[in-house]
A = this chain, B = another copy of it.
Amino acid sequence: MAQRNNIETSGRHFLQIPGPTNVPGRILRAIERPTIDHRGPEFARLASEIFSGLKRVVQTTSPVIVFPSSGTGAWEAALVNTLSPGDRILMCETGHFATLWRELAARLGLVVDFIPSDWRSPVDPAAIEAKLIEDKTKQIKAVCVVHNETSTGVTSDIPTIRAAIEKTRHPALLMVDTISSLASIDYRHDAWGVDVTVGCSQKGLMLPPGLGLNAISAKAMAATKTAKLPRSYWAWDAMLDMNKTGFFPYTPSTNLLFGLAEAITMLEEEGLENVFARHKRLARATRAAVKAWKLEILCRDEERHSNSLTAVVMPEKSDADEFRKVVLERFNMSLGNGLGRLKGKVFRIGHLGSLNELMLAGTLSGIEMGFKVAGVPHRPGGVQAALADLTSD
């Protein structure tokens, strides 16, 4: 047995959780610029550049707001700006994060109709359609879905969900969490008719945690006029009013914004289409490895496999967290754990953000060697299968 690698001593740590993702040197260097006056002209230029850049990334002409917050804050902002205490909303149990969003909504005093699921499947548009048809008196004020469920590696089909809502002519707002899909998997706020988009900094945007995002349709903005949930920190109107001139109503995360500007530059240098194609390629190679290992991918639907992470079901009698511990201690790599009811039963491979073929090959190698060291039953050859896949086109 070799010496235990130290994260900071011999070679780089592999941060292969599904976010926070590896922060590129360019972004780290941008972040460490000296903090500037957030009421001065340089800041206004920076912020204005970011606001227009974010619109391109979220694919919208509507405003995009940046909070000094986690993604959870952006979830809360979406709800408190548009809804009133006692309002009914429809949510879909895609997994752990959808469940957390539901809990948050309940704590705010909203009444949640939660469409159950098995944590291995995408949102069912027909179920949403049925619920809306049933709602003759239009009590449901919003439909909230997670585009890419970070706990399961399942991507839901937003355009089909939007079409299902349209079909019923129900006026509910559509709110979508793009936390682990933004800048990794194609996501279109405008074309898909999303009313409120919820995002954050530490996934496809390749930044450290600390920024929450909302993109806001005109219809969502109109809903703020009647929404009675109390709000101040999250209030869109105050934020948008200041943002017009490149400022914030309170102190923004200046240095993370330096990083965000650099992230937008990097995404646009590569080209958003190329970013999506890269994630697709790396995800496909990851799945080729899992199949070669004769292990099961948690997502049941071949068409809805996530391109930003893959959740792998552990063989019976093997504990995912013990395996992850071996991988961390022996190979200096962090893999995502199973969340909620999946604890110990799955591990998650993050393959989003600043990543390329050779980093993925290292990641998959760490998993395959980890299986061997930890005694997890598998067929060797997953890495080889991934390499073959990566060179097949």
Contacts and interface: CB of A to CB of B under 8 A. Distances in A.
Interface of A: 1-3, 5-6, 8-12, 14, 22, 24-26, 28, 266, 269-271, 274-275, 277-278, 281, 331-333, 354-363, 365-366, 368-369, 372-373, 380-381, 383-384, 387-388, 390-391, 393
A14 B360 CA distance: 12
Contact of A266 (B8, B24, B277): B8
Given A9-B270, A358-B362, 6 more contacts: A5-B357, A10-B354, A332-B356, A372-B387, A383-B383, A384-B384
Given A1-B393, A3-B274, A357 B366 contact: yes
Given A281-B2, A369-B390, A372-B391, A357 B331 contact: yes
Given A12-B359, A270-B10, A369 B354 contact: no
Most chain B CB neighbours (cut-off 10 Å) among A9, A22, A333, A373: A9
A362 B369 CA distance: 13
Nearest to A279: B10
Nearest to A390: B369
A231 to B, nearest CB: 38
Contact of A358 (B1, B14, B26, B278): B14
Nearest to A358: B362
A369 B387 contact: yes
Contacts of A368: 387
A321 to B, nearest CB: 20
A347 B316 CA distance: 45
Contacts of A384: 380-381, 383-384
Contacts of A331: 356-358
A25 B366 CA distance: 21
A277 B2 contact: yes
B266 A9 contact: yes
Contacts of A281: 2
A293 to B, nearest CB: 12
Given A278-B10, A384-B383, A393-B1, A358 B366 contact: yes
